[in-house]
């Protein structure tokens, strides 16, 4: 209602129109006051013809476009300055984006712009007084930020998943075993799954079944690795202790169980003990379990 009030205020200051007319200001009455135009009359004309509301909408739209542009550029600069383009170099998503002659950073900055623009449009609509309390628009406004975040999460998930796949594959490149290809794919789809889950729950889709699935998957993973890597984990823990305290060092003659010899090497998981003819590789868990004797000389 403020638009009406301010319009009447300007009106009354320009021409000697009775207060009663000003209070019920409308386009027809202001046109009737036209003969009394002065220097600032052009502005008044526009105000009279279009109404103050229109100017307000124009201002909001202009401001929104500017804000959207600035926000997009800021996002672009921020992502570039923290080194995102280098970090995601070579991921599938980035490569697809490149095929369309754009980039992930570009897409994200444009997404930000559209989001701000969308908000601007709604702000403008509400300013004009279009009934945004309408159920449909209310729903759209409520879901828009959620949708934006969901898309953001999805893109991040896809990019991070690709990157994880690349890193894991790099790690296992020295292992010439075909089955090892399974691991990078597994890591990638785990990240995809998590991202999808977060995105879906963001827009309010029921995800309970997926969460149960995730729980089962994680539980399986933990049980599986606990069983498979039991000895490695035990040796690693023992190795950490041995690393810190170093009860024996390279060159010492030690006895572990029925193995006796000179320590040649030790790392996180094993100790190399060389006897006369054979070099034993003793797991560190065994060293801690059996105890170690150092031969004095």
Partner 1 sequence: MVALSELLGDLVADVDGLFLFTPSHSHYEQFAETDVPTVVIAPENTVEAETFVELPLQFQNVKDRIRFGVEGAMEQSIVEAGDTIACNVGVFGGDPDSLVRVRVEENMRSGIYDLFANSRADPGVIRDVFGVAIELGKKGQKGEPVGALFIVGDAGKVMNKSRPLSYNPFEKSHVYVGDPIVNVMLKEFSRLDGAFVISDSGKIVSAYRYLEPSAEGVDIPKGLGARHMAGGAITRDTNATAIVLSESDGLVRAFKGGKMILEIDPEAY
Looking up tokens 């623009």 gives 117
C-alpha span between 159 and 176 (Å, rounded): 27
- Is the CB of 106 or the CB of 274 nearer to partner 1? 274
Site for partner 1 in 254-273 (CB under 8 A): 262-265, 267, 272
Q: Which of 222, 246, 291, 293 binds partner 1 (CB under 8 A)?
A: 246
Q: Does residue 172 sit in helix, strand or coil?
A: coil
**Which residue, 202, 185, 270, 197, is CA-closest to 235?**
270
| Nearest distance in Å: CB 266, partner 1 | 9
280 is a site residue for partner 1 (CB under 8 A): no
The region of 155-163, 171-179, 204-212, 245-253 touching partner 1 under the rule CB under 8 A is 245-253
Q: Which of 217, 224, 229, 243 binds partner 1 (CB under 8 A)?
A: 243
The region of 41-49, 207-215, 216-224, 250-258 touching partner 1 under the rule CB under 8 A is 250-258
- Is the CB of 84 or the CB of 263 nearer to partner 1? 263
| Nearest distance in Å: CB 285, partner 1 | 19
| Nearest distance in Å: CB 174, partner 1 | 13
170 is a site residue for partner 1 (CB under 8 A): no
The binding track of 203-242 with respect to partner 1, each residue x by CB under 8 A or -, is: ----------------------------------------
CB contact at 8 A, 75 and 109: yes
CB pairs under 8 A, 24+ apart, for 112-115? 112/68, 112/71, 112/72, 112/75, 113/68, 113/69, 113/71, 113/72, 114/68, 115/68, 115/144, 115/145, 115/148
| Nearest distance in Å: CB 294, partner 1 | 13
- Name every residue whose Cβ is closer than 8 Å to that of residue 271 and which is 6 or more positions away in sequence: 242, 256, 263, 265, 281, 282, 284, 287
249 is a site residue for partner 1 (CB under 8 A): yes
Beta strand residue intervals within the chain, DSSP E: 253-256, 259-266, 270-274, 279-283, 292-294
Q: Does residue 124 sit in helix, strand or coil?
A: helix
Contact residues toward partner 1 (CB under 8 A) are 243, 246, 249-251, 253, 262-265, 267, 272, 274
């Amino acid at each position: 209602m403020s638009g009406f009030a301010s319009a009447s205020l300007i009106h009354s200051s320009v021409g000697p129109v009775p207060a009663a007319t000003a209070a019920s200001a409308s386009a027809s009455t202001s046109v009737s006051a036209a003969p009394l135009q002065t220097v600032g009359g052009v502005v008044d004309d526009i105000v009279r013809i279009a109404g103050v509301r229109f100017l307000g909408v124009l201002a909001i739209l202009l401001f929104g476009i500017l804000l959207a542009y600035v926000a997009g550029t800021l996002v672009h600069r921020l992502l570039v300055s923290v080194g995102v383009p280098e970090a995601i170099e070579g991921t599938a998503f980035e490569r697809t984006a490149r095929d369309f002659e754009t980039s992930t950073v570009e897409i994200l900055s444009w997404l930000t712009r559209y989001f701000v623009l969308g908000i601007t449009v709604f702000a403008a609509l509400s300013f004009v007084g279009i009934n945004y309390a309408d159920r449909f628009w209310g729903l759209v406004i409520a879901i828009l930020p959620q949708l934006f975040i969901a898309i953001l999460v999805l893109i991040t998930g896809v990019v991070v998943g690709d990157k994880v796949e690349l890193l894991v594959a790099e790690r296992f490149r020295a292992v010439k075993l075909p089955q090892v290809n399974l691991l990078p794919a597994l890591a990638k789809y785990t990240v995809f799954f998590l991202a999808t889950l977060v995105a879906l729950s963001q827009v309010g889709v029921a995800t309970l079944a997926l969460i149960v699935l995730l729980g089962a998957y994680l539980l399986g993973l933990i049980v599986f690795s606990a069983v498979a890597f039991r000895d490695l984990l035990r040796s690693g823990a023992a190795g950490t202790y041995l690393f810190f305290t170093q009860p024996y060092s390279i060159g010492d003659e030690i006895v572990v169980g029925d193995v006796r010899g000179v320590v040649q090497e030790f790392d996180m998981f094993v100790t190399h003990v060389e006897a006369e003819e054979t070099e034993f590789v003793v797991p560190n868990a065994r060293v801690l379990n059996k105890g170690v004797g150092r031969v004095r000389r």
